[in-house]
Structure 1
Amino acid sequence: IEISREIMSSYTATVLRMGEIGSASLVKLITNQLAATHLIAAGEATLMAKQAGVDMNAFFDGVRASAGNSYVFETETPLFFNKSFDPGFTIDLHCKDLRIARENHSEYLPLHKKKKENNEADEDHANRDYMSYEEYRHAYPLHALGEDLYLETMDKYGEKVGSSSPARLLQDRVTDNDGVTLATPGYDDWSYTIEKNSDSGLAVLHLNRPSSTASSSSSPLQPFINGTFSSSSSSVHQLEDSATGSPGKSYFISRPEDVQEAISAADKAQEEWGALAPAQRAKILRKAADLLEKRGKEVGRLESEDTGRPIQETEWGDVASGVDCLNYFAGLCVVEGGGESMELPGSGWGYTRREPLGVTVGIGAWNYPLQSAVWKSAPALAFGNSMVFKPSELTPSTALLLAEVYQEAGVPAGVFNVVLGGGEVGELLVNDDRVAKVSFTGSVETGKKVYEMASRGLKRVTMELGGKSPLIIFDDCDIEDSVSGAMMANWYSSGQVCSNGTRVYVHENIIDKFLERLIERTAKLKVGHPLKPETEVGPMVTRAHRDKVEGFIQRAVDGGAKLVYGGKRQGVDEEELKDGAFISPAIFVGCSEDMEIAKEEVFGMAMCVFPFSDEDDVIQRANNTRFGLSAGVFTNNLARGHRVISKLKVGTSWLNNYNLAPVEMSWGGYKQSGLGRENGRVAVESWTQLKSVYVEKENVACSYE
């Protein structure tokens, strides 16, 4: 049932953006849409029957199909439903379509007559045959539309969606023995098999979620260029499922030709998009926000599958952040997307225009893929730019979903494009002369390379880079609050957050109590599969990254730091997770501040706890780093809190909380943690350029004859 709903959601986005209701492509998509609806209804009916203890042979024997104008599936088993079960769906197969199916497929099951309980033929059905197993198998995935989508489509297009011949559609289906594959555009393949019930001879549904170990049989994800999922590449990159260690999704790596096509599409589309009034663009972005929110569960699943982060984080925080960002910039571009006028001395007056930069590039991070994509694209598009976005080579899925959302909302083809791949693809984007700005999120080392390449073309840049942030906890604070803050600053997203406060300075008067509660509460964290709602700590993004974090921990221990909790490969009860990228949170004391573990960004759950006694001293220690992204202070003395915050050399800070990032506030760092800012009103400057216009009201004053 869950799988079918995911199929239905994916197809809905594609169906409603197609335009012409009568196009063959749209009919194919619509028919697969209803196939998903059928699966939901059949799955729910089957579950209810099982839960009620219904004889399943009798249940499936009660499912019949008539050979009139259409085949209607229902059951007459009254044991649980207490009446004839009619889920309200019909496979719209006309008699001519049945004849075509019979001519094309030679293997049939015995046809059954429907009998009344007294063994007399039902007058209404005596001459109607059951659909054969073979016919059912080939026809089932091919037909029309679920009720909600049907009504929504009617409202949108105002005309009836016609049925379509199975013969025409079958040529686009992939069949394998008894299985029929439903290929959702740009996403994993879902399939089901239909088997003969040994007693009744009728068809039995089996939903098949493709195993992550069999990704080679799933369609690789494709770049989204000029409004279409397509790729000229034959080079496929295989990802891993970090929860199980087995192969996961795959995608086509964008070739240079793909990158050029994407930039050309963005260049061509930008002029028309930028010419729209800010209010027109805002309306489209608000619709995108609504669509993204509706697909929240799908976003959460994809984000958790790609990153390993628990779904309790991704389904809530990531979606909410994206929706807020789209709505915020939809409003901001209207009120601050224009210029200003001014009276000038003499006979002139002047005004300024806020104009788009043109083609922009976004390069996202793997820890928050959707957030990276929205934080960059929402302001870019709001202020009239186009964008070619490259998600991290580890986490491609939600950027592609965002592209679908934008297109369904009404963003013209070419305005937002997604290319896939690693550093080579990024270099092609940054070095292209048509690109006006690059917004990058990632490591300091990679950021420096991107900055250097962009500087050759004097391109604007925004750099959100790494951190090694301090968290200062004074002895007048609430202990439980400070422990909560430290946990959110270190364990959230398995520690894979650039702003994490991994250098925790605790006043010597409370450090013992702080450590006691920190360890007690950390030990209670629920570690498990990221798609389980109860999971609080999932795997690292890959096993290779888990190994890297392990290396930091081991070198710290070898160097004399005391590991008081965790830092080991985490045992998980489920057998399927034994090879996953799990590691327990590591808590260190006794570190010197010149140790690698205390100086370098680990990007994992490795907290160093230091004692302090003097305010000025702890501020100096906190600032003794090449980074300057974030910092936090916990104290009940607000005067001291503001005083300390003002002296910390960071771009983003928290007082009595940690790691909250409302889109209304700017985000960025000092020193080597970045350049420029994302979010907030400062984004107006980041994504526009200013033109001054002088207007003369009188004749030109000229000193020449």
Structure 2
Amino acid sequence: MSLRYEKLYIGGQWVRPHGSDVITAVSASTEQELGSVPLGVEADIDDAVTAARNAFDEPRGWATWEPAKRAEVMERLADAIDARKDEMVRRISSQNGMPIVIAEQLEGGFPSMLLRYYAGLARQAATEEERPGLLGGTTLVRRRPVGVVAAIVPWNFPQALTFFKVAPAMAAGCTVVVKPSPETVLDTFLLAEAAEEAGVPAGVLSFVPAGREVGAYLVSHPGVDKVAFTGSTAAGRSIAEACGKLLRPVTLELGGKSAVIVLDDADLSTSIEQLFATSFINNGQTCYLGSRILAPRAKYDQVVDVFSGLASGVAIGDPLEPTTQIGPMVSARHRERVESYIAKGKAEGARVTVGGGRPEHLDRGWYVQPTVFADVDNNFTIAQEEIFGPVLSVIAYDDVDHAIRIANDSDYGLGGSVWTADPERGAEVAKRVHTGTIGINAYLPDPTAPFGGVKASGLGRELGPEGLAAYQQLQSVYLDRS
């Protein structure tokens, strides 16, 4: 059944959009229409920002609520989302091709988990402290909410990444205008229904699905105090430029080209499930994935065989089937992009050991075979540019110092992992990699720890207490005690 929404959720109400165009949601696996929602225009952004501004600025508005009271609203929202979890993951998997088993774990679990985590921090974290001064008197240091937040969310983990932003922002006392990606919009309207049911105060959360131009309008809107963006590095640079001119705080979680460093003592045969999670999860459409496999030259062929076997052994098919491990790309355009990189890898002299084409047994959907390249030099395009698909490059190194030089020879620095029989040795290697996050014999961001990148992978951090601090600003009140 096709889902059709005709109104937008803005300022706590379902309102008619100012435009007449719609976004049509399409199944990544069947290429059939799933539904449609209104396409937001600049006037809709104006309404959403005004509602958020009013909810933040009014004398008894959201920003003035006691943290414990805000936490209660957040927990009600978590309950309302949990009640819709099954439908939420079905909509997401249908739209972007994420295997439903992964969607159940991440898209179904992270939103309410983050809301409850930040509700707990809101109750516990002090918003004021007195500091004794060196010049006499004391200073009252206050943590205040930054204001109205523009949250721009991608299509690959649409709900999880929404709540990377919404949960700490709400806990801090901010109000939020969310602009979801056009590729994943049906899940956003389910979230809006949950917000309405949970009694989230009017203007605290509004949702305007729109394209890039309207997103740029939101970023530069005079009523916005902070921007939080997850997406490509190219788009992130444009947003950073706009925010820089406005002196507007911005958090950017951008692209990655993370390194998987396999040390000479690693036994990869015991870590197949973890290797899959670090290299192929969500069909390779994950920013932090380790797509550069660094293998010791003495064990190079063995490492190539392990990853080739991993790629050839996965189940490719309908993302709504629980046995599926690899689903389709999110769109025909994105599949073309991934296939263009596979062609570049072949042209530059890399050797395809498995994959390289489309699955023969699937005549519909935007599928790409999991692909492994051997004989890759780190200067090759496929080793330097983010592909955002199920494509791995295996690169040989001579010793650990050489491996670290290769790992750090990248414009990006978001994720990564080290594989070894000696975790302490692995930790020492990990500390030398210039990246925002890295794992030992596994990798998965945890809500309690800061997540984000260095270099072209972004600015700022999400998750953990640091994620809450990103939505606060400091005020010093000097007290004369003489």
Is this a same-fold pair by TM over 0.5?
yes
Question: Which of residues 241, 260, 264 is equivalent to 2:46?
Answer: 260
Matches within 5 A, 1:230-269: 230=15, 231-269=17-55
Question: Which of residues 450, 463, 473 is equivalent to 1:679?
Answer: 463
Q: Give TM-score scaled by structure 2 length.
A: 0.95
1:595-615 CA deviation, whole Å, 9 max, x = no partner?
Answer: 111110000011001122300
CA distance in 2, matches of 1:273, 1:375: 19
Asked if 1 retains the 8 angstrom alpha-carbon contact of 2:106 and 2:160, the reply is no
SS at match of 1:389: strand
Matches within 5 A, 1:571-590: 571-572=360-361, 578-590=363-375
Asked if 1 retains the 8 angstrom alpha-carbon contact of 2:12 and 2:200, the reply is no
Paired position in structure 2 for 1:13: none
Matched residue type, 2:313: K
- CA gap of 1:635–1:527, structure 2 versus 1, over 3 A, is same
Matched residue type, 2:124: V
Paired position in structure 2 for 1:307: 96
Q: Give the number of the structure with larger relative contact order, counting CA–CA contacts within 8 Å between residues 6 or more apart.
A: 2
Count of aligned pairs: 478
CA distance in 2, matches of 1:631, 1:346: 47
Matches within 5 A, 1:268-667: 268-271=54-57, 272-344=61-133, 348-572=137-361, 578-658=363-443, 660-667=444-451
Matches within 5 A, 1:69-80: none
1:464-503 CA deviation, whole Å, 9 max, x = no partner?
Answer: 0001110001121222245444322222101000001000
Matched residue type, 2:55: A
CA RMSD of aligned residues (A): 1.7
1:349-383 CA deviation, whole Å, 9 max, x = no partner?
Answer: 33121111111110001100001111100000110
SS at match of 2:34: strand
1:387-431 CA deviation, whole Å, 9 max, x = no partner?
Answer: 001011211122332232233222101110000111111111111
Matched residue type, 1:436: D
CA distance in 2, matches of 1:536, 1:261: 42
Deviation of 1:327 after TM superposition, in Å, equals: 1.1
Asked if 2 retains the 8 angstrom alpha-carbon contact of 1:528 and 1:535, the reply is yes
Q: Give TM-score scaled by structure 1 length.
A: 0.66
Deviation of 1:339 after TM superposition, in Å, equals: 1.6
Greater than 4 Å deviation, 4+ residue runs: none
Paired position in structure 2 for 1:141: none
Matched residue type, 1:316: Q
CA distance in 1, matches of 2:135, 2:184: 59
CA distance in 2, matches of 1:674, 1:256: 27
1:300-332 CA deviation, whole Å, 9 max, x = no partner?
Answer: 111111211111111222222112211111011
Structure showing greater radius of gyration is: 1
Matches within 5 A, 1:31-42: none
SS at match of 1:340: strand
1:604-660 CA deviation, whole Å, 9 max, x = no partner?
Answer: 0110011223000110011001111111101122332122111100001101102x1
1:59-101 CA deviation, whole Å, 9 max, x = no partner?
Answer: xxxxxxxxxxxxxxxxxxxxxxxxxxxxxxxxxxxxxxxxxxx
SS at match of 2:142: strand
Asked if 2 retains the 8 angstrom alpha-carbon contact of 1:486 and 1:501, the reply is no
CA distance in 1, matches of 2:468, 2:99: 34
Asked if 1 retains the 8 angstrom alpha-carbon contact of 2:311 and 2:371, the reply is no
CA distance in 2, matches of 1:247, 1:440: 28
CA distance in 2, matches of 1:638, 1:666: 21
CA distance in 1, matches of 2:461, 2:187: 23
Deviation of 1:337 after TM superposition, in Å, equals: 4.5
Matches within 5 A, 1:90-169: none
SS at match of 1:318: coil
SS at match of 2:461: coil
Deviation of 1:220 after TM superposition, in Å, equals: 4.0
Matched residue type, 1:252: P
Asked if 2 retains the 8 angstrom alpha-carbon contact of 1:278 and 1:337, the reply is no
CA distance in 2, matches of 1:488, 1:346: 55
